[in-house]
Amino acid sequence: MTDPDVRSDYDAIVIGAGFGGIYMLHKLRNELGLSARAFDRAGGVGGTWYWNRYPGALSDTEGFVYRYSFDKELLQESEWKTRYLRQPEILAYLEGVVDRYDLAPHIQLNTGIESAHFDEACGVWRVGTDTGETFTAKYLVTALGLLSATNLPNIKGRDLFEGELYHSGAWPERHDFTGKRVGVIGTGSTGIQLITALAPQVEHLTVFQRSPQYSVPAGNGALAGEVVEALKANYDKIWDDLRSSSVAFGFKESSVPAMSVSEEERRKVFQESWDIGGGFRFMFGTFCDVATDPAANAAAAEFIRSKITEIVDDPETARKLTPTDLYAKRPICDSGYYATFNRNNVSLVSVKETPIVEMTPKGIRTEDGVEHELDVLVFATGFDAVDGNYTRMDIRGRAGESINAHWQGGPTSYLGVSTTGFPNMFMILGPNGPFTNLPPSIEAQVEWIADLIGNAESGTVLTVEPTREAEDAWTQTCREIADVTLFPKAQSWIFGANIPGKTNTVMFYLAGLGNYRTTLAEVAANGYEGFDMRTEALVQQA
């Protein structure tokens, strides 16, 4: 039974100081007037943009919408000079937001949260840090990041390697690869950025590719001052349109089925998009059904394959770089990736054809007996996405149930923000949240969670948690939506297929931001339908 008279250290604890945690802390402290403290294991704020400092790290959302929209003055004051944003710019932007709202004194850095247990008797979360401290709070907000828990494959002999070894998502402050023989494992969004940026800097680059990628040009470049001013002048409409769109990337999403036009027209539309640039634009701005109709998907894939053949000089390298499967991973874009393989100092190893056997003190040995000698090896092998940072923590809800046990069949939630049996715990970008350009989805969730907490605090509510029925129904909804798309048929982190042994399950709400926001609004308007709110009166009766 929850004791309404127990006092906690804080009203709320926030874990994570990226886009999500920063905004949540601002809402809780500066708008709701609650006492709140955020924790991050990082040495600085910024989340993704603190950790991913690898050469070439760049947003693949255009800069005008890869930012917060809640503060109109901040939107007008912000400056950017290129179409996409480099990692240092995004980091500086987030540091600026922390300063603007005077949040730094309330963020404890270099502090990993190891455990969070809900104490049912006291109705508080008891949070344990890796610095040996314990804090209590009524609310726990987890902004742990969905692409944050690094995936470091356990390759035989990994510890024997005598060179430098890095993961892209835990990049060192300083590095110098000049004149070195560098290997990169992984050719996802990160790998292609790294490979393209590193190739001109290093003596030799060996790329270990498991799956070839469909990638289109990013189309990055300088933005004239007038272009930025025009965007700023139009911001009200831009954000309104974006909030009711599907992927929220700031371009017009197509409503035309690919097979409704002639082959010639299709190629023209793909070519125009290729020339403009952008991965999401290519998938969602060309035709409305590239991610849902196999024929449309095949046409888009074939277009990209034809470009690889055109760009890559050596036919054997082109063959290895050419995907033959569905175009249904997170769509990616690059700054000259395929052409990088025309350089004399870059070689490609297809590890599907010649698997990695082991790491040696000098490098990597592949099945054909070749030892690829390396001074540096970079793992661009991605993340244990969505629930990775949850399952690595000891989180326990009612009756001591661990999140690992609760999510044994795969991570679930109600609305991507809460899960049954874990009262007063709210997740930002939790499982089965929207699959979009993320800052607008983060804003939608933070604002909704803040409203719910504000409501609870203005009454006599002690605990809030979703009912099992509501959570099951949401999971079912997400699954049904996913099954209409081609995404579950591709092996990627979107469904947890990139981690050996991980349950392959639905992890996103794929019906878009507009529909997601409508659902959130309806749930709130219906008295937070699907939530079990326990009040002082209820607790005293029990």
Residues that bind ligand FAD (CB under 6 A): 15-21, 39-42, 47-48, 50, 52, 57, 59-61, 66, 112-113, 143-145, 147-148, 169, 190, 389, 393, 428-429, 437-438, 442
Q: What tokens does 539 get? A: 């607790």
Out of 330, 372, 406, 517, point to the residue binding ligand NA7 (CB under 6 A): 330
State the residue number with the nearest CB to ligand NA7: 188
Given a contact cutoff of 8 angstroms between Cβ atoms, the answer to whether 376 and 163 are in contact is: yes
Binding mask 474-513 for ligand NA7 (x = CB under 6 A): -------------------x----x---------------
Out of 69, 78, 142, 189, point to the residue binding ligand NA7 (CB under 6 A): 189
Nearest distance in Å: CB 487, ligand NA7: 12
Nearest distance in Å: CB 244, ligand NA7: 23
Nearest distance in Å: CB 415, ligand FAD: 16
Distance CA 255, CA 286 (A): 9
CA angle 197, 322, 509 (to 5 degrees): 80
Distance CA 470, CA 359 (A): 48
Residues 6+ apart with CB under 8 A from 376: 163, 164, 165, 166, 177, 180, 181, 182, 183
Nearest distance in Å: CB 69, ligand NA7: 20
- Determine, following the binding rule CB under 6 A, whether residue 190 of this chain makes contact with ligand NA7: yes
498 interacts with, out of ligand NA7, ligand FAD, none, CB within 5 to 8 A per kind: ligand NA7
Residue where the block lists tokens 């494992």: 185
Distance CA 265, CA 271 (A): 10
Q: What is residue 363's DSSP assignment?
A: E
Distance CA 339, CA 325 (A): 21
Distance CA 270, CA 278 (A): 12
- Determine, following the binding rule CB under 6 A, whether residue 188 of this chain makes contact with ligand NA7: yes
Phi-psi category of 179—alpha, beta or left, where left has phi over 0 and alpha has psi -120 to 50? left
Nearer to ligand NA7, 189 or 441 (CB): 189
Binding mask 357-386 for ligand NA7 (x = CB under 6 A): -----------------------xxxx---
Binding mask 128-157 for ligand NA7 (x = CB under 6 A): -------------------x-----x----
Cβ-in-10-Å burial (0-12, 13-18, 19+) of 263 comes to exposed
Residues that bind ligand NA7 (CB under 6 A): 147, 153, 185-191, 210-211, 330, 351, 380-383, 493, 498
